[in-house]
Amino acid sequence: MLAGKLDRRITIQQPVETQNSFGEVVVSFTNFAEVWAEVIHVSGREISTAGQILPEATLKINIRWLAGINEKFRILYENVAYDIQYIAELKRREGLQITVKRPE
C-alpha cells in the first residue's frame, strides 16, 4: 500500500449501547481510531423521500491493516457518517478495503 495515496483523514467509530433515564437502550458512537485513508467515490445519486431530496453516496476506503473493525462500526469522513457495508482484507493483512454507504 503506497503511503502517498493515503491522503485523507477518517475517524472510525464503534457503537456503544447505554440506557437512558427511561431504561431504553440507546446506541451512540465513540471514536475507535483516526487513520489516514485513500477514499474512492464509487457512486452517488439523489433520492426523493417524503418530499425531501437526500444524497446517497457509496465509497471505497483503503486503510492500513487495523484489527477489530466490523460492519457495526461507522466511518466519519468530511463530517459525514457512513455505514460500513463490507470489509475486505488487502493482500496478507497489508490493509483493508472498506465499502461504506451514506445512510438515507
1-31: pLDDT as tens digits: 777 889 999 999 999 999 998 989 999 999 9
Burial class of 32 by CB neighbour count within 10 A (0 to 12, 13 to 18, 19+):
middle
pTM beyond 0.85, yes or no: no
> Does position 98 have pLDDT exceeding 70, yes or no?
yes
61 within 8 A of 39, measured Cβ to Cβ? yes
| 43-75 pLDDT, tens digit each | 766 666 666 666 678 999 999 999 999 999 999
**Cell numbers 473493525: residue:** 69
Structure confidence at residue 44 (pLDDT)? 63
59 within 8 A of 40, measured Cβ to Cβ? yes
48 CA to centre of own chain = 23
3-101 belongs to CATH 2.40.10.270: yes
> Does position 93 have pLDDT exceeding 70, yes or no?
yes
